[in-house]
Structure 1
Amino acid sequence: MPRMNNSAQLSTGTRAGYALGSLATGAFGTVPGLLLLPYLTDSLGVAAVVAGLLVLLPKAWDVLINPVVGRISDRTVSPWGARRPYLLGGGIAMAVLFAAIFAAPLGTGSDAGLYVAVLFLATATAFAFFQVPYVAMPAEMTDSTDERTRLMTWRIAVLAIAILVSGAVAPLVVNAAGGGVPGHRAMGVFVGVLILLGAFGSFLGTRRAPLGHAVESEPTLRAQIAVARRNKPFVTLLIVFVVQSVGIATMLAGVKYVADHVLGRPDDGPTLLFVAFVAPALLVMPLWIRVGARWGKKRALTIASLIFGAGALALLSAQVAPPVLTYLITAVIGCGYAGQQVFALSMLPDCIAFDEQRTGKRQAGVFTGLWTAGETLGLALGPGIFGLVIAVAGYRSSDTGVAVTQPASARLGILLAFTVLPALLVGLGALLLRRYHLTADQLTVEQVG
């Protein structure tokens, strides 16, 4: 396909329409990481270490399926473009399957845990068919690196709203519907509706956007990896993003456990922590854009990572400090998280554009397939690691829908997995970012790095 010349600004309607897809990605990226692990341990009676594996393995499947989806979408020919058909089909399937995860037709116990794992695997597959084409679209909608940053700002703003609504309201829905299995059934339907809104909104909202067409794509996963390895900025950015995603997901997995066993607020604690984490992101987004414009995306991402890590370490005080101080520290972490998302996601299309200039080929699906595979693996490893840590620390599971009183060792394990581990992982990502050398001025045909 000839190189596009889409340097003009996108319309506000197109930006908003594309951003609506984050309702789907935000809901699916948030709620399983927040509620699936405690649902397995405290409602279905699954042991913590087994529950961690049940959450990890289906999402790890996406490491294999996402690159395949990227290759398929690269080659798709349709009147709606190469990517948009998957926004609709993948989104509808994801919504229905997500609600089914929490239907609990087999009651509690090991069979119920296996049912959750199978349905979660199916939902993760549908999510891949939505997310991979969705993430590929910005590189094809505009050639302007500044416009990509603006587009990502819209996307992250809606993502923050999606995380706030799904993450804060989902626990309230569980409690309002009676808790336990019945409460989680109602929550599954609620989140499924959010996913449907995101799927239809992004599909209809991008109907006038410049879109990609079928292109020649690498035929195998091995060939795709070989293409990506030659793009040094992409490889560095991907490693940074995956490492930091593990840290973020580990913290996310611990929200309900911290609210229950550290703060002693099982009813409103998860919602308040989520509001404190996400709400500031909506306020600081314009500030992050100014920081990025002045100091560059790489330095801004480093600053955001350091803010996140420092805040996570400060949360070690949660066991003795007043809850209000914990919420304030969480708000600082949320400010760092907002910057991490904005700049990592706006740097990805730059890496894709760099590859096109270097090779003469536009293969956005190859890179976004590998990117979303890595992101999904990171988000899956977080709950798996958290479950392993609290299992080693002696966490006691329950099938009553109410968490039982935990020993001091388990409470300490929850706190360390919620604070120190995320801080170390995000800090490691900031160090690795030093190897990233691509800037807006370097988007030329010359090899970078």
Structure 2
Amino acid sequence: MTGTTPVVSQRAPGTAAPVRALSRGERVSFGVGGLATGLFTTVPGLVLLYYLTDTLGVAAGLAGAVVTIPRLLDLVFNPLSGRLSDRTAGRWGPRRPWMAAGALLLPVTFVSIFWSPFTGDVAALWVGLAFALSGAAFSMFIVPWSSLPAEIGPDAATRTSMMSWRIVFLALAILLAGGLAPALVEMFGDGPSGYRSMALTFAPVMLVAMGIATFVGARRSTRASVATAAETGTLREALRAVRASRPLRSMFVVIILCEVAASVALTGGPYIADHVIGSEDALVPIFICLVAPLMLTMPLWSRAATRWGKRPALQAAAAVFALGAGLLIALLFVPDAAKLPVALFSISVMGTGFAGTSMLPPAMFADAVAYEARTVGKRRVGLLTGASNAAETIAGSIGAGVYAAVLSLTGFISSEGVQVTQSTTARLGIVLGVAAVSVLVVSGVILVLRRYEMVEADIDQLGSPSRTDTATT
């Protein structure tokens, strides 16, 4: 670490570097898990609020509470999953038993979210409970899975590579969710039956992706668990470590802000397509324009991070995201014929920035956790990662909740699958709920990063493996 913190060149007692670098196959297999986690976070983030308000007829304010409150339980689920996986010992290592349990439970609970036998405000109870149960299953998988880069990644370059593959599959998940989810709902009869069939289609994909990540991508964690320190920090110690470490503190805030911006953008997509552009069919090209730049520019952001450092690369990505969000305001002024082209161009710019704001914060957090683990010598990677994931998932729900609040305040009218003509004020809220909120949030990212001091080379000096063992990005 730079500044007043000295960098030492010896490993903390009881730790050891991985004996060899991760192969490309291992890094890709780790990243495949992003397909499952991306589907779970993107599909509800994209359609759950819309499903509640425009299919089940739940009032917008109550629907916002449904998508927000259950995720607050992640404050319990995620740190608990991380702490339990830190303390687990056995032939499978500390991470894989919990990943396997989550892989089995999550597809079932995911389907139950869209299997409500009720309509109206009563449906909010069913969906809320199912969403909470799916959050617990999700924590079982994502926390130990997200711990792997800090635990088995031998250097900053490998951790960046692992996160790059994670975002590649996340982008594929967004493409599947944004491109296929609405089409599947319509193909299977629209309404509640369409959403049920859509969920049943995605559930096996999630199961297979999590299985690959568990049994191939995480196999090195079995050996890594032997090399890490046996002592496990408590939750209080972990929170104390976050407070005492500026990099950890900064990355917590950055991850929250980036996730709020992403959630607002994803949640607003169906509303912009249906009520501003005036066509539900516009949703597919909108999400293609979000995902295509995400996949195409990912190597560029990775190279920028390697050449200039992750902090300036992330600041640039946040600025690009804000630019694209700000351009959406033009939808309020252009004629109807120009709305779709303007939306697609603006979202393409957002997608370019989204690539960097999705990949770089977790990679930087993994660097900070690796530094903390190697200097302190306690196995609490899972605990710290669980706290980070809790913050991330709650931030996603907060983003959806904020957007729902904007809709409610500007007079949005909910319906049970019947097309409703929204007022001018409601359409204003639909656009500004994405544009203004996103610009404000990602501007906060740029400001927070001004005081971030972690340098990747500093972590690598703490017992980094030999150069011959270093994986390439």
Shorter-chain TM-score tier: over 0.9
Q: CA deviation at 1:53?
A: 0.4
What secondary structure sits across from 2:450 in the alignment? helix
Instruction: Answer yes or no: is the 8 Å Cα contact 2:233–2:378 preserved in 1.
Output: no
Give the aligned partner of residue 414 of structure 1: 430
Alignment of 1:58-207 (within 5 A): 58-105=70-117, 107-206=118-217
State the AA in 2 paired with 1:308. Answer: F
CA RMSD of aligned residues (A): 1.6
Residues 136-164 of structure 1: CA deviation (Å, up to 9, x unaligned): 01112122111111111111111111111
Distance 1:7 1:324 in 2: 52
Instruction: Answer yes or no: is the 8 Å Cα contact 1:87–1:199 preserved in 2.
Output: yes
Distance 1:377 1:439 in 2: 28
Residues 388-421 of structure 1: CA deviation (Å, up to 9, x unaligned): 110011111112x234211111111111001111
Q: CA deviation at 1:210?
A: 4.2
What secondary structure sits across from 1:21 in the alignment? helix
Instruction: Answer yes or no: is the 8 Å Cα contact 1:20–1:201 preserved in 2.
Output: yes
Do residues 396 (structure 1) and 413 (structure 2) align? yes
Aligned residue pair count: 441
Instruction: Answer yes or no: is the 8 Å Cα contact 1:4–1:143 preserved in 2.
Output: no
Give the aligned partner of residue 359 of structure 1: 376
State the AA in 2 paired with 1:170. Answer: A
Instruction: Answer yes or no: is the 8 Å Cα contact 1:240–1:432 preserved in 2.
Output: yes
Which of 288, 309, 312 aligns to 1:296? It is: 309
Q: CA deviation at 1:17?
A: 1.0
Distance 1:416 1:403 in 2: 22
What is the TM-score when the length of structure 2 is the normalising length? 0.90
Do residues 218 (structure 1) and 233 (structure 2) align? yes
Distance 1:222 1:2 in 2: 22
Do residues 35 (structure 1) and 52 (structure 2) align? no
Instruction: Answer yes or no: is the 8 Å Cα contact 1:27–1:167 preserved in 2.
Output: no
Distance 1:10 1:188 in 2: 34
Give the aligned partner of residue 277 of structure 1: 290
Which of 453, 459, 464 aligns to 1:437? It is: 453
Give the aligned partner of residue 248 of structure 2: 234
Distance 1:70 1:359 in 2: 17
Give the aligned partner of residue 421 of structure 2: 405
Distance 1:127 1:322 in 2: 37
Distance 1:7 1:302 in 2: 34
Q: CA deviation at 1:207?
A: 5.4
Distance 1:8 1:229 in 2: 33
Distance 2:286 2:441 in 1: 21
Change (3 A) 1:292 1:189: same
Distance 1:335 1:115 in 2: 37
Which of 50, 54, 68 aligns to 1:56? It is: 68
- The more displaced of 404-413 and 436-445 is 436-445
Unaligned runs of 5+ in 2: 1-12, 463-473
Instruction: Answer yes or no: is the 8 Å Cα contact 2:103–2:141 preserved in 1.
Output: yes
What is the TM-score when the length of structure 1 is the normalising length? 0.95
Distance 2:430 2:253 in 1: 26
Instruction: Answer yes or no: is the 8 Å Cα contact 1:397–1:403 preserved in 2.
Output: no
Alignment of 1:237-276 (within 5 A): 237-266=251-280, 268-276=281-289
What secondary structure sits across from 1:395 in the alignment? coil
State the AA in 1 paired with 2:296. Answer: L
Alignment of 1:327-338 (within 5 A): 327-338=344-355
Of all paired residues, the percent bearing the same amino acid is 38
Instruction: Answer yes or no: is the 8 Å Cα contact 1:52–1:388 preserved in 2.
Output: yes
Distance 1:7 1:293 in 2: 24
Give the aligned partner of residue 386 of structure 2: 369
Residues 56-94 of structure 1: CA deviation (Å, up to 9, x unaligned): 000111022211111101001121111112222112211
Q: CA deviation at 1:192?
A: 1.4
Residues 237-294 of structure 1: CA deviation (Å, up to 9, x unaligned): 111110221121112111101101111111x222211111011111111111221111
Distance 2:211 2:241 in 1: 33
Instruction: Answer yes or no: is the 8 Å Cα contact 1:309–1:422 preserved in 2.
Output: yes
What secondary structure sits across from 2:70 in the alignment? helix
Give the aligned partner of residue 23 of structure 2: 11
Q: CA deviation at 1:436?
A: 0.9
Distance 2:387 2:451 in 1: 19
Give the aligned partner of residue 307 of structure 1: 320
Distance 1:184 1:247 in 2: 26
Alignment of 1:313-352 (within 5 A): 313-319=326-332, 320=334, 321-352=338-369
Distance 1:129 1:228 in 2: 22
Distance 1:377 1:280 in 2: 26
Distance 1:429 1:301 in 2: 9
Q: CA deviation at 1:191?
A: 2.2
Q: Runs of 4+ in structure 1 displaced over 3 angstroms?
A: none
Do residues 286 (structure 1) and 299 (structure 2) align? yes
Instruction: Answer yes or no: is the 8 Å Cα contact 2:30–2:218 preserved in 1.
Output: no
What secondary structure sits across from 2:225 in the alignment? coil
State the AA in 1 paired with 2:331. Answer: A
Residues 285-331 of structure 1: CA deviation (Å, up to 9, x unaligned): 11112211111000000000000001100111124234123212211
Change (3 A) 1:418 1:403: farther
Do residues 428 (structure 1) and 440 (structure 2) align? no
Distance 2:110 2:22 in 1: 33
Distance 2:343 2:401 in 1: 25
Distance 2:418 2:385 in 1: 40
Instruction: Answer yes or no: is the 8 Å Cα contact 1:76–1:213 preserved in 2.
Output: no
State the AA in 1 paired with 2:264. Answer: T
What secondary structure sits across from 1:329 in the alignment? helix
Give the aligned partner of residue 44 of structure 1: 56
What secondary structure sits across from 1:254 in the alignment? helix
Q: CA deviation at 1:442?
A: 2.7
Change (3 A) 1:54 1:311: same
Distance 1:354 1:119 in 2: 38
State the AA in 2 paired with 1:413. Answer: G
